[in-house]
Chain A
Amino acid sequence: MADTILQGVSLVKEYRMGASRLRVLRDVDVRVARGEFLCVLGPSGSGKSTLLHLLGLLDRPTEGRVVFEGQDAFARPKRWRDRMRNEAIGFVFQFYYLMPDLSVLANTLLPAMVRTPLAAWPAVRGGHRRRALEVLTDLGLSERVAHLPRELSGGERQRAALARALVHQPRILFADEPTGNLDSATGEEIMRVITRRTRRDGLTVVMVTHDQRVAEQADRILRLHDGKLLRGA
């Protein structure tokens, strides 16, 4: 696979549980091609969310490396990983994780707000706002921009979270059970959006799920069980 955007090499993750250690991931190797829609399928507790957190630079592996766009991510300074998460990566979580006190529009603008100092904000705010409104309109939320997350339905919340993850045009999107908290119709609607983005815009997507039907929409499926990738997956 020539154009690899992300690679996990011999990833191990352990958690301390008092005196003992709990090994959640065991020597996992993953390679993600640019523009690929990869799904990690596994039952609850198999370590798929942990794998997503390691690949998404949210957590440090106990052993192994994460190579993002040719750079050993955990050999680089933390500031670099923060910048990558802000500029190159988008996240969608099962429980949406929208800021409850911010409107849908403000939530969508959050990645831009994180990287822009106050002094520069008046000059760039208009451009970011336009882009955010385009994405929200594309996701069918144009009438909901001024609402708070608690005033939205589950599907709308997930679409708002998706808008926040896509607004800065990330090079890779990590989705952790994006349909896990939604009814099947709404889940399908979310999956349609993600699939469309992958096919139309060439967005790389890494999604974890325990739902076989959802996973089947991906280009490639990796099966994880007890922290190990199953052979032949």
Chain B
Amino acid sequence: MDGQWLASPWLIPAAVGAGVVALGLLALMLATPVYKHIICAKYLFCGWKAVVPLVSALPAALGVFLLILVFAIMDGFVRETREMTRGTLSDIIVDAHMEGLPHYEELARRIEAIEGVEAASPVIQTYAVARVKPRLSSIKPLVRPCVIIGIRPGEKAEMGRFHEYLQRQRGSQYAAADLLNVPEAWHRGPRPARPGCIAGVGVIGAPMSSPVPETMREGAGRRVLAAFLAVPAALASLFVWRAGRRRQGRAGWTVATILCVVVFMALVAAASFMPVREVQITRPQVIDFPLLPYGGDLVVSTIPIRPSGALAMEAGGIPKVSSRAFTVVDRFKSGYWEADSSHVYVDFDVAQQMAGMDAQPAAEGKPAVPARTNQIQVRIADPSQAETLVRKIEDVWRDFGRERPEVGVLQLSINTWETQQRMILTVVEVERNITALMLGVMLLGFGVLIGLISYVMAYIKARDVGILKALGARDAGVGSLFLGYGFIIGVIGVTVGMTAALLMLANLDPIEVWVNRTLDIDVFPREMYYFDHIPQHTSPAWCVAIGAGVLALSTLASMAGGLLAALKQPVEALRYE
């Protein structure tokens, strides 16, 4: 749970609202006749029969537990996926596709002049084939499809979180982030004249899963389990003690009470004092994308595209292939597999030449061709203003196109990074929403169950209803007795479910390790999900909303019993005998 919610503008209104609701509930409680409190408490906590209504709190607890747990994990997935995809892009992308955009420097300057835009940088992006040379001639080279991305290192450093993903190369004298600011870093190695590149870890190696030692806190899972079990043990102690008190002189009850209390205390002691120690475990994990036995050289080949959109051709109709050797000066790993397995970042000018987008002088009666780029990446000051700034950039582009008719015919796509990546984000978000919907439907089923239990309770307690009405209790009052009963069941369910969910979320990784080791079930295969931990994001607002929703559902569901009790005629109820 991060602390961002503390800065939320909704915090104070929400706290005031919660306070008003709490005060309202307190006032309602104080104004309610005493018999409702006493009888409700008796129905809930008196004797062995009380186990049945308390069991009805379990569906509510289970619903809250599952909703919070699933929401936290799915939301964690969504957030971390968004972070990963965003890190490789900028806030807004002006995309001119493969045909290229001329006069881009001027357009970038105009975009930078828009209020709220901090930087605009041209980027070349074209498809290619990467060949990783082996160190030994007996080994076949690696050949992969890739995307060449031409960047201006100083400007790219200001875009997204790209610099955070650079893995420092072994033996490099520069810090990884300096690659984006120190030009010499791109020309290191035995051939300084050769341009450098930053390749995705998946381009120059294959993911290697290996059992690696890892330090874990052993015992944390057992502590949580003991804490979970202590709650029913405490309830059992209370019930047995209450039952024993009603049956004085029977030693068996005393012994049973002592046993329950001993079990409860043992569990509390285990939850508090069970040793937690650091242990070394081994489990499969993606540890590296090893280069060995491949060297640090990469040859990238692409086919340039002419300003007309046609492929550049050699004489005889053979496509002209533009190849260039690069020294891999660093690797990057964003966690977003599509980028990590295909992107090769090179200097903008080099990429422009390879893609045939550099300026061509006039020759043999042909006019001069200006330099072109594929994209202009834009960084903005306030990400929440992205959509507004997209519209402003569209206005700038329209004006620019009117001034330069040869550019104005191009079809540009101007999108935020979220729109650009909507496919992957939508998939994860849809998955989260479908899961929430399914759990919501399940919760409605729990609501029906609570309603049925409340109805059966009111049916069984029909004689009590008749007695209370004969003594002058009002219909609404007797009905609200069962509403209060449902409310308390909801409070118990929400408290138990929320506590269990938050405890589990706080100890998710130790619990996963414990399940993994004890049951030999790999709950979260890291190489499949590409996260090195189970992602989670617990939102206090969601917790409150889920708790309040389940509480409302439980209270509403118990209206079934409340209505039955309220509408029951006292004479009819007293004929029960």
A and B bound? Answer: yes
Q: Which residues of A approach B to under 8 Å, CB–CB?
A: 53, 56, 58-59, 78-79, 82-87, 91, 93-95, 97-102, 106, 110-119, 121, 148, 151, 164
A86 with B472, Cβ < 8 A, contacts A97-B467, A101-B39 known: yes
A118 contacts B31, C-beta separation under 8 Å: yes
| B32-54 interface code vs A (CB 8 A; 1 in, 0 out) | 11110111001100110000000
* Residues of chain B lying within 8 A (CB to CB) of residue A83: 472
* Residues of chain A lying within 8 A (CB to CB) of residue B34: 112-113, 116-118, 121
Nearest to A50 among chain B residues (CB) is B571
Interface of A is mostly: helix
* Residues of chain B lying within 8 A (CB to CB) of residue A100: 464
Query: B570 an interface residue at 8 Å Cβ cutoff?
Result: yes
Q: How far is the CA of A114 from the CA of B465 in the complex (A)?
A: 12
Interface of B is mostly: helix
Q: How far is the CA of A119 from the CA of B32 in the complex (A)?
A: 8
A-B contact pairs, 7 of them (CB 8 A): A58-B470, A58-B571, A82-B472, A85-B472, A87-B472, A101-B47, A110-B471
Query: B499 an interface residue at 8 Å Cβ cutoff?
Result: no
* Residues of chain A lying within 8 A (CB to CB) of residue B577: 94-95
Among the listed B32, B43, B463, B471, which residue makes an inter-chain contact with A85, where contact means beta carbons less than 8 Å apart? B471
B472 contacts A114, C-beta separation under 8 Å: yes
Nearest to A122 among chain B residues (CB) is B34
B466 contacts A97, C-beta separation under 8 Å: yes
Nearest to B577 among chain A residues (CB) is A95
Q: Which 7 A-B pairs have the closest CB atoms?
A: A86-B472, A119-B30, A113-B35, A101-B42, A85-B472, A113-B34, A59-B571
Among the listed A97, A98, A115, which residue makes an inter-chain contact with B33, where contact means beta carbons less than 8 Å apart? A115
* Residues of chain A lying within 8 A (CB to CB) of residue B464: 99-100
Nearest to A117 among chain B residues (CB) is B31
Query: B229 an interface residue at 8 Å Cβ cutoff?
Result: no
A58 contacts B29, C-beta separation under 8 Å: no
A118 contacts B472, C-beta separation under 8 Å: no
B33 contacts A117, C-beta separation under 8 Å: yes
B209–chain A nearest beta-carbon distance, Å? 61
* Residues of chain A lying within 8 A (CB to CB) of residue B471: 85-86, 91, 110-111, 114, 164
Query: B246 an interface residue at 8 Å Cβ cutoff?
Result: yes
B38 contacts A119, C-beta separation under 8 Å: no
Query: B474 an interface residue at 8 Å Cβ cutoff?
Result: yes
B42 contacts A102, C-beta separation under 8 Å: yes
Nearest to A54 among chain B residues (CB) is B571
* Residues of chain B lying within 8 A (CB to CB) of residue A56: 470
A97 with B574, Cβ < 8 A, contacts A83-B472, A111-B472 known: yes
* Residues of chain B lying within 8 A (CB to CB) of residue A86: 471-473
B472 contacts A117, C-beta separation under 8 Å: no
* Residues of chain B lying within 8 A (CB to CB) of residue A84: 472
A82 contacts B38, C-beta separation under 8 Å: no
* Residues of chain A lying within 8 A (CB to CB) of residue B31: 117-119
| B433-477 interface code vs A (CB 8 A; 1 in, 0 out) | 000000000000000000000000000000110111111111101
Nearest to A112 among chain B residues (CB) is B34
| B548-574 interface code vs A (CB 8 A; 1 in, 0 out) | 000000000000000000000111001
A117 with B30, Cβ < 8 A, contacts A58-B571, A86-B471, A95-B577 known: yes
* Residues of chain B lying within 8 A (CB to CB) of residue A58: 469-470, 570-571, 574
A106 contacts B38, C-beta separation under 8 Å: yes
Q: How far is the CA of A112 from the CA of B34 in the complex (A)?
A: 9
Q: How far is the CA of A113 from the CA of B466 in the complex (A)?
A: 16
* Residues of chain A lying within 8 A (CB to CB) of residue B477: 114
A110 with B571, Cβ < 8 A, contacts A82-B472, A115-B472 known: no
Q: How far is the CA of A93 from the CA of B471 in the complex (A)?
A: 12
A153–chain B nearest beta-carbon distance, Å? 17
* Residues of chain B lying within 8 A (CB to CB) of residue A112: 34
Nearest to A100 among chain B residues (CB) is B464
Nearest to A119 among chain B residues (CB) is B30
A110 with B35, Cβ < 8 A, contacts A58-B570, A93-B574, A101-B43 known: yes
B469–chain A nearest beta-carbon distance, Å? 8
> Most A CB atoms within 10 A — which of B31, B39, B471?
B471
* Residues of chain B lying within 8 A (CB to CB) of residue A113: 33-35, 38
> Most A CB atoms within 10 A — which of B30, B34, B463?
B34
* Residues of chain A lying within 8 A (CB to CB) of residue B470: 56, 58, 85, 91, 97
* Residues of chain B lying within 8 A (CB to CB) of residue A148: 246
B39 contacts A99, C-beta separation under 8 Å: yes
Q: How far is the CA of A106 from the CA of B246 in the complex (A)?
A: 15
Q: How far is the CA of A161 from the CA of B39 in the complex (A)?
A: 18
Q: How far is the CA of A59 from the CA of B568 in the complex (A)?
A: 12
Q: A82-B474, A95-B577 are in contact. List 13 more A-B contacts (CB 8 A).
A: A53-B571, A58-B574, A59-B571, A85-B469, A86-B471, A86-B472, A97-B470, A113-B38, A115-B472, A116-B33, A118-B31, A118-B37, A151-B246
B468 contacts A117, C-beta separation under 8 Å: no
A102 with B474, Cβ < 8 A, contacts A116-B33, A118-B32 known: no
> Most A CB atoms within 10 A — which of B463, B470, B571?
B470
* Residues of chain A lying within 8 A (CB to CB) of residue B38: 102, 106, 113
Q: How far is the CA of A106 from the CA of B42 in the complex (A)?
A: 12
B46–chain A nearest beta-carbon distance, Å? 5
B468 contacts A114, C-beta separation under 8 Å: yes
B3–chain A nearest beta-carbon distance, Å? 39
Q: How far is the CA of A73 from the CA of B319 in the complex (A)?
A: 105
* Residues of chain A lying within 8 A (CB to CB) of residue B246: 148, 151
Q: How far is the CA of A112 from the CA of B38 in the complex (A)?
A: 13
* Residues of chain A lying within 8 A (CB to CB) of residue B46: 101
B32 contacts A117, C-beta separation under 8 Å: yes
* Residues of chain B lying within 8 A (CB to CB) of residue A79: 474
Nearest to B477 among chain A residues (CB) is A114
* Residues of chain B lying within 8 A (CB to CB) of residue A119: 30-31
Nearest to B478 among chain A residues (CB) is A114
B522–chain A nearest beta-carbon distance, Å? 51
* Residues of chain B lying within 8 A (CB to CB) of residue A99: 39, 464, 467
Nearest to B30 among chain A residues (CB) is A119
Q: How far is the CA of A179 from the CA of B82 in the complex (A)?
A: 79
